[in-house]
Amino acid sequence: MPTIAMTGEIGTHGADVAARLSSRLGLRFIDSPELEERLLDRLARRKGSLFGPRPRPVEIQDAFSVPINLWCNLLADEVLELAAYGNVLIRGWGAAALLSRYPYIVRIRTSAARDERIRRLGHVHRRASPEQLRQVIESGDAIEDFYLQWFADGIEKTDLFNLDLDTSAHTPEECVQRIVAYMAAQPIRTPTPPPEMERRQFDG
């Protein structure tokens, strides 16, 4: 029952690669939007325990008012719980960095040349200027760097990922083939379920 954690730069076809891979391997696919919903639900339950049984609905903007250490604790709880069940591919929200301590979990990153990323984003956001597209990319890169520093501080970025796939040079299907071949060549490890939560480590 493999567990795969993926991250990727904006504009690198990471969602396409992840969807194809999870379908190929028969894994449950937890993409960034679904993980976001699960985090907001966890935040709502947390607010309910603090303020009564009927908290108001939680929206993504509510997350901006949450202390960063609390948000990252909620995120870590959710990702570790999903990973403990196995047979899942989790994409985004720092999952790959958080799970870098568990050698049986395959960690994958998609990347591409910046000009190629801007070109791809331009096809999606046709009315955006090149400067606006660059700002979107820089914002995404900053978020990725934040989670890498928060969850994997002290670990070299080159050691975080089993595979870093350049989608400038490979199609999504070729990336999937490379991942499948990599996994087939790895020795079978008996997974040790992640702990409930190494909370002190993430309290900041």
- Confirm if 91 and 147 have CB atoms less than 8 A apart: no
Rounded to two decimals, the pTM is: 0.83
- Confirm if 39 and 63 have CB atoms less than 8 A apart: yes
Binning pLDDT at 50, 70 and 90, where does residue 186 land?
A: confident
Burial class (CB in 10 A: 0-12, 13-18, 19+), 167: buried
**What does the pLDDT look like over 99-135, one tens digit per residue?**
998 888 999 999 999 999 999 999 999 999 999 999 9
**What does the pLDDT look like over 27-56, one tens digit per residue?**
999 998 898 889 888 888 876 654 445 455
CA angle, residues 33, 107, 94, in degrees to nearest 5: 40
- Is the pLDDT at 171 greater than 70? The verdict is yes
Q: Going by CATH, does the domain composed of 3-196 fall within 3.40.47.10? A: no
155 phi and psi, to 5 degrees?
-100, 130
- Say how many CA atoms lie within 13 Å of 56 toward its Cβ: 3
* Assigned token pair, 44: 């709502």
Annotated domain spans of the chain: 3-196
Helix, strand or coil for residue 30? strand
